[in-house]
Structures are given as C-alpha cells and as structure tokens.
Amino acid sequence: MPLADFRSPRLFVDAPLSAGAQVALERGQANYLGNVLRLGAGSTILVFNGRDGEWRAAIGGGKRPDRLEIGAQTRPQDSLPDLAYVFAPLKHARLDYMAQKAVEMGAATLQPVLTQHTQVSRINGERMRANVIEAAEQCGILSIAAVEQPLPLERYLTGRDQQRLLVFCDEAADVASPVAALGNGTRSGGIDILIGPEGGFSEAERAMLLKQPKVLRLSLGPRILRADTAAVAALTLVQATLGDWHNVAER
C-alpha cells in the first residue's frame, strides 16, 4: 500500500469521491483552508471520506475557497481492525484526548458506557465525532471510527456479540504480565476493550463482567493509571499482541 503523505494537508469531506468530481466546501472548511492554512485557488490537498480512499484535490474558487476539484486517487480505501474501545466517559479535555488516542491506536468503534461510579452521564456526540475526524486527518487514517450512543453497562453487556473477546481492564485483578495474559487470548473474531471509570467498577459490575463467555481480565501493572492513560496502555497491549500490530509483515 502506498505510504501516507504527511506533508500535504488532509481534509475529511462527507461526499462521494472520484476523479473529476467537484465537492463544495463547508464554511468552516473554507475558512480553515483559506484563513488558517492560507491556501488559495490551485493549491492541492488530500481528501478522504472514509469510504472511497484518499484523493488529491485542487482548491477552487476566487478570493475565498469554495470547492475542491478531485484529481487522482493516492491511496485505496482500507479497513480498521475489528476493535471496539468501550469506556466510562471522562470530563471535557480528557475525553477529547482519549477519543483522539483511541482513533490513533486503530479503534473502529467508540462505545461510551455508564457505570455505577461514572462521573459524566452526558456526552456531546458531535464533539466526539469531531475529535475522531481530526485525529484521522492528522494521522493519515482513511476510515472514520463509529461513535455510539452511551449505554448503561448492563444493557451494553446484554446486547453485545457474545462471540467477541472482552478485554476487561480491572484495577482489582492480580498483578501479572499483561503481555503473557493477552498471549493466551484468541485472535479470531472481534475484540472489545473495556476501561472503567475513575472510581473503578463496583463488585456487582465486576461479577457481571466476569460472567461474560469470552472475557479476559487484565491487569495494567502495579500502578493505578488514570482512565485516559489506561486507554493508551490497553490499546497498545492489545494491538501488539492480538491486533493489527501483530505480524505486520505477514499482512
């Protein structure tokens, strides 16, 4: 697969992409290209929509950019690993950070869950999706992770595919090597990574989680991590042992 071009600006557009197509710019996009990046008519950028791969496009318009003229495809569409990041929401900037890092690490789905000790019960889905898109634009990612509506933990567990592996990151688990624990897991089917709230899981929630048919209870080491730090640690471990960092040369 062609290497990503990190020198050219990248922009997500929610429109079909093909050679010769024209895409109208939204006001915010036009402002970003013209006033922030100071690009004018004839300048080229990279665009993607999460479906049709990545394309080089020329900016059209007069003093103010108003459209993109799609040229040649630079990379074909790929797919994200079947990896869901399931988490108890955090406040403001820390939630933004967590969403961005989950996308950078390859999560295909972001699923908020509400637990007994969750401190944040309302989530701005549009803001989270904006963070998902920004992370994809900056990191050369072609697919856009899905942002799901928050669910109570019990309802999420009842409705999830029971054939998927649930990696349950539990601060109360016996401290052991997480790499060794994940090495005993299975690579067939999808993976759900669950990070709890800052107050931890209740005993009733822990018992409910351990009743899941394919669950791997994981310690993240001898220190208690903040939830946003735990997100990066858990996603790194899973991607390196069970995800798409494993045997990269074979793909």
Cα distance between residue 208 and residue 194, in whole Å: 13
Q: Which residues contact 93 (CB under 8 A, 6 or more apart)?
A: none
pLDDT (0 to 100) of residue 251: 44
Backbone angles phi, psi at 94, to 5 degrees: -70, -35
Domain boundaries, the chain: 10-75, 83-250
140 with 4: CB under 8 angstroms? yes
Q: Helices then strands (H, E): number in the chain?
A: 7, 12
Q: If you search the block for the tokens 């990151």, which residue do you land on?
A: 169
> What is the CB neighbour count within 10 angstroms for residue 235?
22
List, edge to edge, every strand of the sheet that includes 65-75.
10-12, 44-48, 54-61, 65-75, 22-24
Give the dihedral sign, CA 21/69/48/78.
positive
Give every residue of the chain whose pLDDT is below 50, as ranges: 249-251
Q: Which residues contact 148 (CB under 8 A, 6 or more apart)?
A: 109, 110, 111, 112
Q: What value does the mean pLDDT of the chain take?
A: 89
- For the stretch 175-192, pLDDT in tens is 777 887 787 666 667 999
pLDDT (0 to 100) of residue 185: 62
- For the stretch 67-111, pLDDT in tens is 999 999 999 999 999 999 999 988 888 899 999 999 999 999 999
pLDDT (0 to 100) of residue 187: 61
- Compute CA distances 1 → 4, 75, 76, 78, 194, whole Å: 9, 7, 8, 9, 31
Report pTM. Answer: 0.89
231 with 198: CB under 8 angstroms? no
Beta strands in 19-140 (DSSP E): 22-24, 44-48, 54-61, 65-75, 83-87, 109-114
pLDDT (0 to 100) of residue 113: 95
pLDDT (0 to 100) of residue 142: 96
pLDDT (0 to 100) of residue 248: 54
Which of the four CATH numbers 1.20.1440.230, 2.40.240.20, 3.10.20.30, 2.30.40.10 does domain 10-75 have?
2.40.240.20
10-75 against 83-250: fold identical: no
What is the CATH code for 83-250? 3.40.1280.10
